Every structure is written in C-alpha cells, then in structure tokens.
Chains A and B, each alone.
Chain A
C-alpha cells in the first residue's frame, strides 16, 4: 500500500513537471522567456533593458512575424548565437543529466530513509503492540501518563 502511495506521489510530481502552461498566440515575451541576455548580465531576456536584450527581442519579434513557431525560433537562436543563450539546458542528450540528477538524488535519499526507518522501528517492542504503524492506544502506560503530567506542569498546573 505504502509503495503505491509513493509511486503515485512521484508520478504526480513528474507529471506536473511535464505539463506546460497553456498556449497563447505567440508573443515575444513567451519566447524571450526561454533565453538569457547574451552580454553576460545574467538576465532573462524578457527583463533585459540593455541594447543586447532589445536587439535579441527584435530578432525574435521578426521571426514571429514571418511565422516561425516557438520551437523553431529556439533552434534558430541556438544555432546562430550559441547554446548558452538558452536560459536552461534543453531536455535532449547529455543535458538530460542536468534535469534528472536532482530528482534521482532525492529519490535515492528517500529510499535510504525508508530503509533506515524500517530498520529503526523493527527493533523496538516496548509496548507489545508490534512494530510499524502504532495502533490506537492500548491501556494507558506509564510513559504516557508521565508525559501528561509533564505537560500539565507546562500549563502551569
């Protein structure tokens, strides 16, 4: 059951990742958002107010005018300027490594934690209600009544 939940969660996360925002009539800023200004100021093209930014946006506007689609424009810019102009690595070839690695690390970590928790809960059996999910509390045992006492003290009683 737990595994199913985990799979569902991970699946949802990956699915979300793949979903793109709705498509509008192509505007300069939609495409410009995929790029970074090429003069080294590290700004997304939509925000760059410098000559380099304005010139690039003009180029994009021109390409839209002659009917190029978003992906085509991206490829054009990549070839004629440089791959480094794209604000994030494309999801192709080696660049997949960029995208996958963080998730791989988190998933591996999650598995490690799951194993660790299993190991750590397997051993104890103080109350006799077995490892794993604690069932609804049995008769009150001293540990709990001590805690209640302590917390009552905290409340000032």
Chain B
C-alpha cells in the first residue's frame, strides 16, 4: 500500500513537470492538442497526489509502523481522529498536504475552465504545476513520508500530548486550504500579465476562489486562537508569536485585496495595485509555510531543524520576483485612466480600508524584524512582544472599526454630504449615548477600550439600520412579510448583505478585544475546603483525585463556583494535570495542563491547576477572568456564515458574467 503511495508521489512529480513544460510549449507553438495533454496531466497529478495521501492516511489508520513517519506520530492507543491528524503532525505529511490541496484545486480549476479563459489557462496550468513540482520534489528528496524503518517497532511513539484536542484536526487543514487557495488567483493574475489580457476577467473568474481561500484562512486563524486558548493554557489566545504573525499577514493583505478588487470591478482602476496585493498575499502564505516548517522561530510551531528552510526561502523569493517582475514588465498595459466620481464614495473608503489593513500588516512585519534591525544598528537585541503590537495596533484597529461603521452609509461612486450627514447622525448619537452609559457604569479607562466599545455600537447600528431599510423597501415593493422580505433581501444581494454579516462578525471580534484590558488574574495555593475570591466569584476547592488512563495518569481538581455576593451556586469545573508514562525511550514524564473554562457571553472564568509536587492534598490555582472572550468564537461562526452567503452561487450574477464573457475578445488561444 505504501509503495503505491510512494510511487504515485514520484509519478506526480514527474507528470507535474510534464504539465508545466507542455503547457508552456503548447501555448508558445499554439497547439491545442499539446495544451489539452498538459491539462490532462495536471488533472492526473491531482489524482495521483490524492492517491498518495490516501495511502499515507491508510498507513496511519492501520498502524503501519514500518513507515518512520507513522511510527513517530502515532501509536495504538490513538483515537481515529488523531490517527488522521497524525498525517499533518510533521513536516513530511504537512508538505504533502500542501501539495495535494494545491493539485486538487488545480484539477478543479482546469475542469471548471474547460470552455472558458482559454487564453489564460495554459499559463495557469503551467504556474500551478511548477509549484506542485517544487513541493513534490522537495518532499521526495528531503521529507519523505514513506521513508521506511529498518525494523518495524511494535508500537509507535504516539502523538505529542499537546496535540490531543480538536484544534489539531481543525487548524492545520483549514489554514493550509487558505494558504493554497490564494495560489489560484495568483496564477490567474500571472497568466493575465503574461498574455496581456488585463481586463478584469481574471478577477471575476477567481473571485470565488479568493473568497474560499479567505474563508479558510479566517477560519484557520480563529481556530488557531481557540486552540491556543483552550490548550496552551496560559489564559490568552494570541501571543504575537512570529508564526501567528506569519499567518496574520496574508490574511490582512488578502482582506485588503478582496476589497480593492471590487474597485477594479466597478471602475477598472487599481490594476497594478491589485496584482501587487495578490502577489504579496500568496508570497506571504509561502513565508508562513517557511516559518512554520523550517524551525527558524522557537515557538509552539517549531519543528526540528529540517533543512527545508533555504528551499522554502528560495520559493518565497522566487514567487515575489516572478510576480513583481512580470508586473514591471507589463506596467504600460496596466496604467489606467483613474477616475473617481467623488471624494466621498465607497471607493475612497476602500482605499483607506486598504491603508489600515496594510498598515497593520506592516506593523506585524516590522515588529517581527525589528529585533534584527536593532541588533544590526545597536548591537543589542530587543524583544518586540505583545505590548508593542497591542499599543500600535489599537489606534489602527479603531480607525478600521470606524470605517466599518461608515461602510453601509456610503454608496458606490458618490455619496452626497447631506445624505451622509443624515444617515450618520442617528447611529452616532446612539453610540455616544451608549458610551455615556458605559462611563456612568464606571468603565472609562483605558480610553481605547471605551472608544472601541462606542464604535462597536456604531457599527452594529449602521449595519442593522441598513438591513432594516432594505427589508422595509422590499416589503413596500413586494408586499412580502417581514421575514420573507428580510431573507429575500439577503438572498438576492448575497454579496452586499453577506458582506455586512461578515462585518458584524468583525465587530464582534473587536468586542472580544474590548474585554482584554479588564482581565483579572488571581493565584493562590489551596487545600480542599478552602476558597478563593476572583472577580464576582467565590471559588471553592472541593477535592483533588487522580485516575489512570491509557499511557497517563490524570490528577483532577473539583471546584465549585458561587456568586460572591449572592451566594448563589454558579457551577463546577474540573481542571486537570496529566502525567505521561515513561514511553521506554528514556523520556520521562512530562506534565500537561488541561485548563477548565466556565464560559458565558459576559466573561470566561479560566482555571489552571498545579498540583503540589509532594503529593499532599494542596495545590496552586491560577484563575483568570477574561471578559467577553466568547464573542471571539461567536464572531468566528458569524463570519463563516456570512462568507458562505457571499460565496453561494447566484443566478443573477451568472447571467451578468455570461454577458461579460461573450463580450470579451474571443477566448480561443
């Protein structure tokens, strides 16, 4: 079985080279048969890598420890879901995952475009196949998941206990789907540059791919934060770790790209800008892969010094060079007559949106490299950590939030100042009223949090009013009931109202941020029966006990929470600490903290339990209150829901696109 896996991997590498070469050759000599052959080859590569991945998956599921990779990352006690996720636990498998995702996407793109974009497709196939060739070759030569062991061990080493939770099977695949997905608009952009076909057909053809990639990257980042929160057990969800930053930057640039292509669709402007953004986004996803896979940075994501670093660095630089080089080459064709109807228009707010998003991306990049700059200039290495990012991002985030609220109020092309003032006033007044209420409640510092809260109300208001207006207008015209009108409003304007839903999700993320400065933390050592006070809670340490599990011993503490003032019982939690058995490798027991969280929309009460080392019935407890934390996860669902609506196929849009394709220069190569 694994020989099938290995040989399909080898074949995939060879055939992707064929697809790459023949696409280019066929296009240059203008022979459809050759191009078609190359396309079939690329589709075959997708199938082969799928087969290869399936066989690796099979090896995990059947405990095939003859494979070094399987032996290193699984054992017989693992649940099926963790056997599956063992696939991407190490370099070999996760690179294979990159390759299979990219090749399957490529196959789908080819099939989708059998009768469209014929002028662009050979280049798209060539570029994507080149990347696939690079990855498969890298895997075969440096990170082969099908590497066999000289002997077959009786049992594997097991999966790192840190990875035994849902984050492990959710975060890597979604993030990688996001990374890989941006390769498609990148390839189309490059094809458009190469062929000189620079109308926005390439953008419209890849719009859903871009949205899909964005969807997965958003989900991947949020799941990553969720995983950090519940598993890493330090009470937070984002540490401005260079690896987190490496995943944040493509998301920011991708979001900017998503918005500014809309300007190109409406006004044919910003072609150079959009191509630059998509090149940057995709390059940063490769940078993200580089940082995660090469061990450059010491962090949760660090893997062994794999030697992959220089090659991935090369790929990153090559992608940048190729993308921007082509852009420069085609510069004359890209310049447009730029015209905006009005200073106050959605187009201009989008430009500022781009400014802020890229500003935050720059801040992230800058913070990551500044220690090296400091070392070069002063000879002293400084640390750039959370306090830097928090302070710099805060004003930028607030500006972004303001734009978010402004968005529904300002129409495309032109908004009259009168109109704007009228639409602006009511929500603004309500937000200030809300702010006044907060101040009256005693919440006035830090000022940033207060301002953020006021703006969140502003955003909610403008969006809700927009939904209301739309529904009311529709009702007037169609006589539908409120609910029907509301649903139809959204359904017949998926892009706009789906987008508003996503924006509400973003406002919710800011709501979670608002809770941050109000975090409380108390540490105490208790014996059973004793209690501690944190925030509005009195927490009683009831008892401590332990029990065995496969390969580990767990010590648990039972805690009961009461309302500190009313005495009312709120609930119980059971934080744990796990100790793992010596697995015969000479590796001693490493303890793992399993936090317990009591969560409500108002706040999270977060427990870290440290049993005493003398075995006596006494333990240290760290209890953290994270206000409004849950809104981060609610936001994740809202944004997911909104994105699905935006991506959903739309009949009206299909008709409009058909007209555009018909109007375009004949699509035969």
Contact = CB atoms under 8 A, between A and B. Distances in A.
> In the complex, are there CB atoms of A and B closer than 8 Å?
yes
Interface of A: 9, 13-14, 16-17, 19, 21-22, 29, 33-34, 36, 40-44, 46-49, 83-89, 94-95, 97-99, 101-103, 105-106, 109-110, 113, 116-121, 123-124, 126, 132-137, 152, 154-157
Most B CB atoms within 10 A — which of A21, A33, A133, A136? A133
Among A14, A98, A126, chain B packs the most CB atoms within 10 A around the CB of: A98
Contacts of A14: 395
A126 B340 CA distance: 11
A121 B298 contact: no
Contacts of B356: 106
Contacts of A95: 374, 382
Contacts of A21: 445-446, 517
Interface in B531-563: none
Contacts of A118: 343
B477 A47 contact: no
B355 interface: yes
Nearest to A22: B445
B492 A156 contact: yes
Given A95-B382, A155-B492, A89 B414 contact: no
B414 to A, nearest CB: 4
A134 B366 contact: no
A49 B610 contact: yes
Interface in B473-513: 474, 477-478, 488, 492-493
B352 interface: yes
Contacts of B392: 99, 102-103
Residue among B343, B367, B451, B492 with the most chain A CB within 10 A?
B343
B529 interface: no
Please provide the 8 A-B residue pairs with the shortest distance between their CB atoms, ordered closest to farther. Answer: A13-B395, A87-B385, A88-B388, A47-B234, A106-B359, A88-B387, A102-B363, A120-B340
With most chain A CB atoms within 10 A of its CB, the pick from B236, B342, B383 is B383
A120 B148 CA distance: 63
B317 interface: no
A148 B339 CA distance: 22
Contacts of B163: none
Interface string B74-110: 0000000000000000000000000000000000000
Given A40-B298, A136-B418, A154-B492, A110 B355 contact: yes
B344 A133 contact: yes
A152 B473 CA distance: 11
B446 A109 contact: no
Given A106-B356, A113-B352, A136 B338 contact: no
Contacts of B416: 133-137
B351 A155 contact: no
Chain B, interface residues (CB within 8 Å), range: 35 or more
B169 to A, nearest CB: 25
Contact of B343 (A47, A102, A121): A121
B447 A155 contact: no
Main SS at interface, chain B? helix
Interface string B362-400: 110011001101100110111111111001101110110
B343 A87 contact: no
Given A94-B378, A121-B343, A135-B417, 20 more contacts: A42-B239, A42-B241, A42-B298, A44-B386, A49-B593, A49-B608, A49-B610, A83-B380, A84-B371, A87-B386, A98-B384, A102-B359, A106-B355, A113-B351, A113-B352, A117-B340, A117-B348, A124-B340, A133-B342, A134-B341
Contacts of B236: 47
Given A33-B387, A40-B298, A133 B343 contact: yes
Contacts of A103: 392, 395
Contact of A113 (B355, B377, B445): B355
A94 B348 CA distance: 36
Nearest to A20: B446
B342 A85 contact: no
Contact of B381 (A42, A46, A84, A157): A84
Contact of A89 (B352, B362, B384, B517): B384
Contact of A134 (B370, B395, B415, B474): B415
B652 A154 contact: yes
From B351, B358, B445, B488, name the one whose CB has the most chain A CB atoms within 10 angstroms.
B351
Contacts of B396: 102, 106
B419 interface: yes
Contacts of B383: 36, 84-89
26 contacts: A21-B445, A36-B383, A44-B385, A49-B234, A49-B593, A84-B371, A86-B382, A87-B386, A88-B383, A89-B374, A89-B388, A94-B378, A98-B374, A99-B388, A109-B355, A117-B343, A118-B343, A119-B338, A121-B340, A121-B343, A133-B416, A134-B415, A135-B416, A155-B477, A156-B492, A157-B477
Contacts of A49: 234, 593, 608, 610
Contact of A109 (B340, B359, B377, B451): B359
B405 interface: no
A78 B448 CA distance: 29
B652 to A, nearest CB: 6
Contacts of B593: 49
B521 interface: yes
Nearest to A152: B477
Contacts of B386: 44, 87-88
Contacts of B445: 19, 21-22
Nearest to A40: B298
Contacts of B608: 49
Interface string B332-360: 00000011111110001001100110110
Nearest to A118: B343
A95 B344 CA distance: 38
B339 A124 contact: yes
Nearest to A121: B340
Interface in B237-279: 239, 241, 269
Interface string B437-454: 000000001111001000
B470 to A, nearest CB: 10
Contacts of A121: 339-343
Contacts of B414: 134
Nearest to B365: A102
B355 A16 contact: no
Contact of B352 (A99, A110, A120): A110
A117 B391 contact: no
A156 B478 contact: yes
B299 interface: yes
A77 to B, nearest CB: 12
Q: Which of B241, B359, B395 has the most CB of A within 10 A?
A: B395
A97 to B, nearest CB: 8
B384 A88 contact: yes
Contact of B362 (A102, A120, A154): A102
B344 to A, nearest CB: 6
A98 B348 CA distance: 29
B235 interface: yes
Interface core residue of A9, A17, A132, A134 (most chain B CB under 10 Å): A134
Given A84-B381, A95-B382, A13 B399 contact: yes
A134 B417 contact: yes
Contacts of B241: 42
A32 to B, nearest CB: 10
Contacts of B488: 156
Contacts of A87: 383, 385-388
